């Protein structure tokens, strides 16, 4: 069966140009009208993959090529910014956005664990173990 997705068809410059076209289209496309504002098409890797007619692995493969690195980072940062910004103003669900950012953009939740062990506690507990 012939491969459905197109192979390496974009130069780094063409890819940047097509990505900018996609981001402009997202800003112009209204998918839902609310009373207070209009919901625009989200900027996602899924949508840009469909728009460019490339596989879901296209960007991770191209990122390995140093010629594409700047363009891929630009696309990634633009999509990440869209998710973060719209979650902060509740256009996107903060919980879904959190899931997206953790799984697609390597965000981590910071957790702090405070431990306070004194030598007195250690000696007391070790004496109990000896008996």
pTM: 0.69
With 50 as the cut, is the pLDDT of residue 1 above it?
A: no
Q: Where are the domains of the chain?
A: 12-130
Q: What is the pLDDT of residue 120?
A: 61
Q: CATH topology for 12-130?
A: Topoisomerase I; Chain A, domain 4 (1.10.132)
Q: Of 8-22, 44-58, 62-76, 101-115, which range is least confident?
A: 101-115
pLDDT per residue as tens digits for the range 6-36: 556 799 999 999 999 999 998 887 766 665 5
Tokens linked to 91 = 């256009």
| CA 9 remoteness from chain centre | 24
Distance between CA atoms of residues 68 and 72, nearest Å: 6
């Amino acid at each position: 069966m012939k491969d459905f997705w197109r192979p390496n068809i974009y130069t780094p410059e063409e890819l940047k140009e097509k990505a900018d076209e996609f981001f402009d289209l997202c800003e112009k496309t209204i998918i839902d009208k609310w009373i207070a504002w209009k919901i625009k098409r989200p900027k996602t890797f899924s949508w840009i993959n469909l728009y460019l007619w490339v596989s879901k692995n296209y960007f991770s493969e191209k990122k390995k090529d140093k010629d594409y690195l700047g363009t891929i980072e630009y696309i990634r940062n633009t999509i990440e910014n869209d998710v973060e910004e719209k979650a902060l103003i509740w256009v996107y669900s903060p919980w879904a956005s959190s899931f997206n950012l953790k799984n697609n953009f390597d965000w981590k939740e910071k957790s702090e664990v405070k431990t306070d062990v004194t030598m007195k506690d250690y000696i007391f507990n070790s004496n109990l173990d000896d008996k």
